[in-house]
Amino acid sequence: MTQTPDDLRYTEEHEWVQRIGPTRVRVGITDYAQSQLGDVVFVQLPETDKDVTVGESIAEVESTKSVSDIYAPLAAKVVAVNEDLVQTPEILNTDPYGAGWLFELELSDAATLNAALGGLLDAAGYQGVIGG
C-alpha cells in the first residue's frame, strides 16, 4: 500500500506539495511515483531564483527503468533545492515525503498560495488518480 499523507496536496503528475510557510511550499514526488520508477540513480534539480509556471518541466528524476520529468505544481520562484539528492538520489526511494524532497517554491503572497493549493488534489483525490 502506497503512502498518501493527508497533510499534503498532490498533482496528477505524482508530485506532493507541502506548505512550510505563509508563502512557501516544499515539493517532492509521491511514494507511488518512486515505486513506479524503481531505483532512482540521478536527479536533476531546477536552478534557484528561477521563476516557473504551472506545468513547466523543471527537474528530472532518472531511474534504472526510465527518466521522468518533474513539473512545477505552482507558478512561483524556486528558492531552494535539495542538494543531498545530487550525491544520494536513492533518498527518493527510501524517504519520498521527508529527506527526499526536491525543491522549494516561494509565491508572492499567502492569498495566492491559498488559491493555488486549493486547486491541487487532496489525499483522497490523489488516491482516485492512482486507483488506491
- Other Cβ atoms less than 10 A from the Cβ of 54: the count is 13
Residues 110, 111, 112, 114, CA torsion sign: positive
Domains in the chain, CATH or no CATH each: 10-130 (2.40.50.100)
- DSSP, collapsed to helix, strand or coil, labels residue 9 as strand
Tens digit of each residue's pLDDT (9 = 90 or more) over 27-76: 999 999 999 999 999 999 999 999 999 999 999 999 999 999 999 999 99
Mean pLDDT (the chain) is: 96
Asked whether residue 1 carries a pLDDT value surpassing 90, the answer given is no
Residue 23 pLDDT grade (very low, low, confident, very high; cuts 50, 70, 90): very high
CA distances from 42 to 6, 30, 91, 102 (A): 28, 17, 11, 12
